[in-house]
Amino acid sequence: MISDAKRTIEAVWGIESARLIAALTRFTGDLSLAEDLAQDALVAALEQWPESGVPRNPGAWLMTAAKHRAIDLYRRSLRLQRKHQQLGYQAEAQQEQDWREFEARPDDEVGDDLLRLIFMTCHPVLSTEARVALTLRMLGGLTTEEIARAFLAPAATIAQRIVRAKRSLAEAHVPFEVPGAAERADRLASVLEVIYLIFNEGYSASAGEDWIRPGLCEEALRLGRILAELAPQEAEVHGLAALMELQASRLRARLGPSGEPILLMDQNRARWDRLLIRRGLAALERAERLGGALGPYALQAAIAASHARARTPEETDWARIAALYDALAQLAPSPVVELNRAVALAMAFGAAVGLERIDALTSEPSLTDYPHLPAARGDLLFKLGRYEEARAEFERAASFSLNARQRQQLLERAAACQR
């Protein structure tokens, strides 16, 4: 029974923690204090719910517990500094009145609090690593240990990162607010970047023993869906949501029976999640309906949609995908986009065409130890019957990879060249 209650509390915390911390941050103006109050409420739930049962409205219970804790701290502070009793009564009464107004706010203001918290944790004043860790801690409800395991970093490093992030926000006097129109575009780009970084690390783990980490994908999806509800007029928000839904639809098909990676063209498409595909296509349609040119995330979602609509690899419209990469390269040029574009051109117009494009990227400094470049080159060389060269490229790609599953797969492809 106690274990059932604990599982229920964990589920409730996953749902309510972000709303709770957002609301408390709005009231206290202090992100660290808000998290402490929320954690105190969680401890109270762990102590009381196994005996008393889960309340009818768990979120309201947690908020009330946090409120009581905040008032206790406030009263203690007053006792230390007030000069006479009447001053304390007046301040205390004002605190109670503030809480009543706070609790009476409509749901749409709670949504505003969440949006403010998202913009705060993803503020550009923080490093990318700090933004990711703080977002997962505050909005994902993940523990420091869970974040550390997900990113294969020591828990102490992640804890330090989070503490420094909160300190940086406080020292920079970052307000708890949705930025104005002039600043929103830059800040929104930072928010979207953080969410997609979390998703990508789950979709294709950069290091470690596991090829994918579904938990991180789920957290990023949840954050993307929340953001799409809170910012319904932002096309790129829907574009990112569409991209993640469509990519996540393939997760079950990306692993073999022993956890080995299965590449896109070899996947059993019957295992693709049709519900996620429908959600992704609907989100892409919403982005398109908002008008204007598609942004980088929406363009990538359109590429993913081309794969999702193809029931077999042979039905894939590679010419359209190459054209979408052309548009993406114009809008957000990068060596990685050029590499993906070269692969699409190879699929659409032949391996020799793609190889010529990839060869032009081999001197690109940012791709020096990027395993996907020699892997893609090895694949095209193999298709052209240049097996010894292909083997060398697969072995080179394996030497760059920090992921054990990917490295093993690349070595197996190198061995296949000899056969």
Supply the pLDDT for residue 78.
Answer: 62
Q: Which is more confidently placed, 111 or 204?
A: 204
Contact predicate 410/260, CB 8 Å: no
What pLDDT band is residue 399 in, cutting at 50, 70 and 90? Answer: very high
CA gap 232, 287 in Å, rounded:
9
Which pLDDT value is given to residue 143?
A: 83
Cα–Cα distance, 339 to 332 (Å, whole number): 13
Buried b (16+ CB within 10 A) or exposed e, 118-142: bbbbbbeebeeebbbbbbbbbbbbb
> What's the mean pLDDT in 141-159?
85
pLDDT bin (cut points 50, 70, 90) of residue 14 is confident
- Nearest CA to 1 out of 54, 43, 40 is that of 54
Q: Cα torsion for 78, 83, 86, 92, to the nearest 10°?
A: -10
pLDDT band at 242 (very low <50, low <70, confident <90, very high): very high
Closest to 102 measured CA to CA, from 63, 139, 69: 63
Q: Can you tell me the mean pLDDT for 25-54?
A: 85
What tokens were used for 245? 């839904």
Query: Could you give the percent of the chain with pLDDT greater than 70?
Result: 91
pLDDT of 282: 98
Residue 416's pLDDT band, with cuts at 50, 70 and 90, is very high
pLDDT recorded at residue 110 = 43
Q: What is the mean pLDDT of residues 406-414?
A: 95
Render pLDDT for 67-94 as a digit per residue (tens, 0 to 9).
888 877 777 766 655 544 444 445 455 5
Q: Say how far apart CA 143 and CA 196 lie, in whole Å.
A: 20
Whole-number pLDDT of residue 47: 87
Going by C-alpha positions, the residue among 140, 146, 162, 177 that lies closest to residue 21 is 140
pLDDT value, residue 107: 41
Amino acid in position 419: R
Nearest to 246 by CA among 289, 278, 204: 278
pLDDT on residue 2: 54
Range in 12-21, 35-44, 98-107 with the lowest mean pLDDT: 98-107
Mean pLDDT of 240-258: 96
Question: In this predicted structure, which of 4-8, 321-325, 403-407 has the lowest mean pLDDT?
Answer: 4-8
Which pLDDT does position 207 carry in this prediction?
80
- At 341-384, the pLDDT tens digits run 999 999 999 999 999 999 999 999 999 999 999 999 999 999 99
> Higher pLDDT residue, 378 or 49?
378
Given a cut of 50, whether residue 45 has pLDDT beyond it is: yes
- Please tell me the predicted confidence (pLDDT) of residue 84: 42
Element (H, E) at 403: strand 402-403
The first and second tokens of residue 41, run together, are 């409420």
Instruction: Give per-residue pLDDT as tens, 178-225.
Output: 888 777 777 898 899 999 989 998 998 888 888 898 888 998 999 999
**Mean of the pLDDT values across residues 328-346?**
96
User: Does residue 113 contact residue 26 with C-beta atoms inside 8 Å?
Assistant: yes
CA 257 from chain centre, in angstroms, equals 26
Q: What percent of the chain has pLDDT over 90?
A: 53
Q: What is the average pLDDT value for the chain, to the nearest integer?
A: 87
| pLDDT at residue 81 in the model | 59
Q: Which residue has the higher pLDDT, 183 or 111?
A: 183
Asked if 225 contacts 118 with a C-beta cutoff of 8 angstroms, the reply is no
**In the predicted model, is pLDDT for residue 103 greater than 70?**
no
The secondary structure of 350-396 as a DSSP string is: -HHHHHHHHHTTTT-GGGTT-THHHHHHHHHHHHTT-HHHHHHHHHH
Residue carrying the six token digits 């502070």: 77
